[in-house]
């Protein structure tokens, strides 16, 4: 029988720590080996208990979660799941954490009394325990973009669709950095909560001036050099074809395979309307 995943909970709120611990108690694959109210306590417990995974609050007094994450990644990389509030500031900080090497970010949800606000956190922790922590701080400089990237598109690819989930923030940055200015339009479904996708799109747009990167809006006509990311929330991003032009549509719908927006929904629409003229790329995934 496999040993349960040892988890260290780091959060300055005693109530939040108790709620996370209670949620984890429902999962037989998880054992809470310790709790810390601040990074200094957490540092001692990391040495003492050697957890497999850490859940880390993004915003804490004193040394915040990002500063502590940087220290973890420098000294002893451990899979870290950041816990963040669903605010614009929290989303921006969460994207920075993912760029630094955090496994994933779990948004704090407002739920009805009696409901488990951290119901999905345990699944992320178990997945994180199977991963290899990668510190962006210590990573080698990525190799130069492939020199033939500009010519391999030819006239055969009119549209690129990319699907990604956990690990996608790092992967998308690296992939898109090699795209030329006049590349075919790109549509992306990155499984993220609302606000997180807006922050991510803005961050990419600032760092890649050759491309026009933004959250997708309903009814946009896609042009070369445009990159559009499905906004997190309750609508799916799909592609339509009108008069030979590809147009973005945001449609309401139930989650597909647990996700909304869904990579499956986007890819099916691209296959329908672009067919062999499209290139589909799957960067990373969870579960199935």
| Range in 141-155, 241-255, 274-288 the model is least confident about | 141-155
Helix (H/G/I), strand (E/B), else coil: 203? helix
DSSP letter assigned to residue 287? -
CA distance 224 to 182: 5
Taking alpha carbons only, the member of 161, 117, 138 closest to residue 282 is 161
If one compares 90 and 197, the residue with the highest pLDDT of the two is 197
Beta-bridge partner residues of 24: none
Please give the residue that has the higher pLDDT: either 251 or 156. Answer: 251
pLDDT higher than 60, residue 251? yes
* Average pLDDT for the chain: 85
Residue 27: pLDDT band by 50, 70, 90 thresholds?
A: very high
Four-residue CA torsion sign, 268, 273, 275, 278: negative
- The domains of the chain, with CATH numbers, are 5-130 (3.40.50.2300), 159-282 (3.40.50.180)
Residue 242 has pLDDT above 80, yes or no: yes
Q: Residue 286: which pLDDT band, with cuts at 50, 70 and 90?
A: low
CA 171 to chain centre: 10
Q: For 222-238, what is each residue's pLDDT tens digit?
A: 999 999 999 998 999 99
% the chain with pLDDT above 70? 88
CA atoms of 266 and 12, how far apart (whole Å): 39
Question: The whole model's pTM is what?
Answer: 0.80
pLDDT attached to residue 74: 80
> Which bin fits 193, alpha (ψ -120 to 50), beta or left (φ > 0)?
beta
- Identity of the highest mean pLDDT range in 49-58, 143-152, 191-200: 49-58
Q: Are strands 245-252 and 235-242 parallel, antiparallel or unpaired?
A: antiparallel
Q: Looking at per-residue confidence, does 144 or 172 come out higher?
A: 172
């Amino acid at each position: 029988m496999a040993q349960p995943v040892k988890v260290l909970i780091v959060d300055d709120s005693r109530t939040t720590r108790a709620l996370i611990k209670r949620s984890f108690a429902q999962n037989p694959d998880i054992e809470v080996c310790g709790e810390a109210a601040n990074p200094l306590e957490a540092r001692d417990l990391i040495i003492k208990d050697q957890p497999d995974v850490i859940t880390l609050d993004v915003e804490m007094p004193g040394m915040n979660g990002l500063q502590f994450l940087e220290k973890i990644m420098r000294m002893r990389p451990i899979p870290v799941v950041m816990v963040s509030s669903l605010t614009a500031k929290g989303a921006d900080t969460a994207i920075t954490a993912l760029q630094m090497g955090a496994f994933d970010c779990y948004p704090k949800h407002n739920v009805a009394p009696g409901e488990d606000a951290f119901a999905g956190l345990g699944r992320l922790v178990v997945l994180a325990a199977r991963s290899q922590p990668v510190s962006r701080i210590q990573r080698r400089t990525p190799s130069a973009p492939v020199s033939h990237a500009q010519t391999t598109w030819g006239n055969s690819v009119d549209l690129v669709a990319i699907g990604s989930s956990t690990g996608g923030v790092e992967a998308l940055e690296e992939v898109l950095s090699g795209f030329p200015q006049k590349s075919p339009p790109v549509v992306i479904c990155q499984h993220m909560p609302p606000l997180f996708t807006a922050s991510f799109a803005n961050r990419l747009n600032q760092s890649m001036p050759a491309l026009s990167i933004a959250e997708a809006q309903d009814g946009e006509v896609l042009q070369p050099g445009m990159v559009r990311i499905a906004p997190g929330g309750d609508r799916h991003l799909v592609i339509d074809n009108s008069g030979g032009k590809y147009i973005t549509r945001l449609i309401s719908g139930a989650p597909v395979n647990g996700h909304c927006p869904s990579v499956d929904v986007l890819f099916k629409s691209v296959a329908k309307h672009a067919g062999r003229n499209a290139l589909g790329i799957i960067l990373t995934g969870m579960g199935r």
